[in-house]
């Protein structure tokens, strides 16, 4: 047998009989949660799903997650507020798109509504204008109906993918193109 074994047992692996005993599930769960929270903030739902993926017993997962909430290392309300601010600022997402993302992370109901209340209609309107302003091409003859329609469709579609309503998207794109056509 080679001096180093990949089997993880025996004297050459550097383990003792005590080390081969089953690890405490609470310690395993705590390690998983800490590792996840070190990488980025997570909701309780995301952490519970990660623990389930790693076959941590439900009662152990609940106890560990409860303790992490107790010491405020898990705070779904703060996570939701932070997520809304971040996604609105960095991605220019509308409240509808952010609400879908929050639901995917297990944040729904009142928690989601309170977090989303940070965004006003004025914020969304300005974000949509900024997005269109960055994407709108200058030096194009928007008086040509076919060109105008093509660019309108593209810009409205971009806003729709980011969760903006069709009426807001058409309004913002129309204003932006009209502003260029007047210049």
Per-residue pLDDT of the chain (183 residues; tens, 9 = 90+): 444 434 444 444 444 444 434 789 999 999 999 999 999 999 999 999 999 999 999 999 999 999 999 999 999 999 999 999 999 999 999 999 999 999 999 999 999 999 999 999 999 999 999 999 999 888 888 888 999 999 999 999 999 999 999 999 999 999 999 887 665
Residue 60 included in any domain? yes
Helix axes 166-182, 121-135, angle to 10 degrees: 50
Residue 94 included in any domain? yes
Q: Helices in 54-140 by DSSP H: which ranges?
A: 58-70, 76-90, 95-104, 109-116, 121-135
Pair 57, 80 in one domain? no
pTM score, whole prediction? 0.78
Residue 61 included in any domain? yes
On the 0-12 / 13-18 / 19+ scale of CB atoms within 10 A, 56 is: buried
Count of domains in the chain?
Answer: 3
Residue 4 included in any domain? no
Pair 110, 131 in one domain? no
5 CB contacts (<8 Å, ≥6 apart)? 12, 13
- CA angle (82, 85, 90) in 5-degree steps: 120
Residue 49 lies in domain: 24-70
Residue appearing with tokens 């290392």: 73
Residue 6 included in any domain? no
| CATH number for the domain that contains residue 90 | 1.10.10
């Amino acid at each position: 047998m080679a001096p180093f074994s990949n089997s993880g047992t025996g004297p050459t692996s550097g383990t003792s009989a005590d080390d081969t005993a089953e690890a405490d599930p609470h310690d395993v769960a705590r390690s998983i949660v800490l590792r996840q929270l070190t990488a980025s903030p997570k909701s309780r739902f995301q952490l519970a799903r990660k623990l389930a993926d790693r076959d941590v017993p439900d009662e152990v997962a609940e106890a560990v997650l409860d303790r992490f909430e107790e010491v405020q290392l898990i705070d779904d309300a703060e996570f939701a507020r932070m997520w809304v601010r971040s996604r609105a600022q960095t991605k220019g997402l509308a409240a509808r798109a952010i609400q879908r993302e929050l639901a995917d992370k297990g944040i729904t109901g009142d928690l989601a509504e309170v977090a989303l209340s940070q965004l006003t209609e004025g914020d969304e309107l300005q974000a949509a204008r900024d997005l269109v302003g960055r994407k709108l091409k200058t030096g194009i003859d928007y008086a040509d109906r076919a060109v105008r329609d093509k660019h309108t469709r593209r810009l409205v579609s971009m806003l729709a993918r980011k969760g903006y309503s069709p009426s807001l998207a058409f309004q913002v794109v129309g204003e932006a193109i009209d502003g260029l056509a007047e210049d």
